[in-house]
Amino acid sequence: MAGVKAPLRALKIVAQGLTTSFRYPYFMMGVQPTYEMPPPATLYGHVASALGEWFDPRDVRFAVRFTYRAKQHDVETTHLLSPAGGRLPHRREYRKVLAGKPNPFKREILFFPRLVLYLNRPEWLEAFRHPRHPVVLGRSQDLFTYLQVSVVALHPVQDAYLEHTLLPYEYGRYTAAGHAVLMPRFIDYRRGRFPVFERYLILHRRVFTRDFLRWPQDPGPQIWADPTEPQVRRTPLGIVWLAWDGAHDPNIHSNPVSTGQSPLSGG
């Protein structure tokens, strides 16, 4: 990244809601814990909802900051149905097709969530100012409101602070402040909604990149600073780009033109 001085124009979306929950995919009964950060696959669906269509994830980069005030449990009920025969007990004229029993479970809920999403697609500004579908994040009942949709100029820096963000798993070699998590990165609709998972690093508490561990011959990660956010100790807030296609490129410094063909449609 040495020698790159030009700022990067990025779309910045600020949204908040009352509740949200990002279910761990391997819990089906009894309890459903939540991720403490929206998975990339969830963010892809959120962006596609605003655009009104699936989009080609190649060359699209995103960065995220996410906070919430509290985490509590709620009780929900699912009905696991299976084929059944016979007739309904109180309406004998109707044949029974399905039967099942209610299964109550505890679900973790995040209260008063706030999302700051960056996209290297400033041309999508109007799409987020006039989203095609209802704005939700998480479950269908987790309504959100866009507080701010704007284009900002990000600047490459070496010294920044990071907090409440999702980082590539490789950042674990620079800091021990975060914790590793396996998340769905992308849902492939060409393969029957097959989920593609990837490891990430969830970082809640604030860290400064000047405190990162440094290794010989390692130039360190490229950080972009958002000048519209408050500084801490004269240090700007940093963001780190991620990718839905798995090609995390810390040296991204341009807005690539999309091919216009979506892998979701087989293009």
- 153-194 residue pLDDT tens: 999 999 999 999 999 999 999 999 999 999 999 988 778 888
* Residue 99, domain member (yes or no): no
Question: In this predicted model, what pLDDT tens digit does every residue of 116-154 receive, in sequence order?
Answer: 999 999 999 999 999 999 999 999 999 999 999 999 999
Domain span at residue 162? Answer: 10-73+109-250
* Residue 54, domain member (yes or no): yes
> Which string of DSSP letters, residue by residue, matches 30-55?
SEE-B-SS--HHHHHHHHHHHHTS--
* Residue 262, domain member (yes or no): no
What is the residue whose two structure tokens read 């990025």?
Answer: 10
In this prediction, residue 255 carries a pLDDT of: 37
* Residue 26, domain member (yes or no): yes
Question: What is the phi/psi pair of residue 6, to 5°?
Answer: -70, 140
Question: In this predicted model, what pLDDT tens digit does every residue of 70-84 receive, in sequence order?
Answer: 999 988 888 878 888
Q: How many domains does the chain have?
A: 1
- Whether the predicted pLDDT of 263 surpasses 70: no
Compute the distance between CA of residue 26 and CA of residue 236 in angstroms, rounded to an integer: 38
Beta-sheet strands, E only, within the chain: 8-17, 19-20, 31-32, 61-67, 70-83, 98-111, 114-119, 144-157, 161-162, 165-168, 179-188, 194-203, 207-208, 223-226, 237-239, 242-243
pLDDT cut 90: percent of the chain above it: 66
Question: In this predicted model, what pLDDT tens digit does every residue of 39-71 receive, in sequence order?
Answer: 999 999 999 999 999 999 999 999 999 999 999
* Residue 116, domain member (yes or no): yes
* Residue 159, domain member (yes or no): yes
* Residue 98, domain member (yes or no): no
Residue 141's CATH number = 3.30.70
Averaged pLDDT score across all residues of the chain:
88
* Residue 263, domain member (yes or no): no
Question: What is the phi/psi pair of residue 59, to 5°?
Answer: 75, -5
In terms of phi and psi (left: phi > 0; alpha: psi -120 to 50; beta: otherwise), the region of 172 is alpha
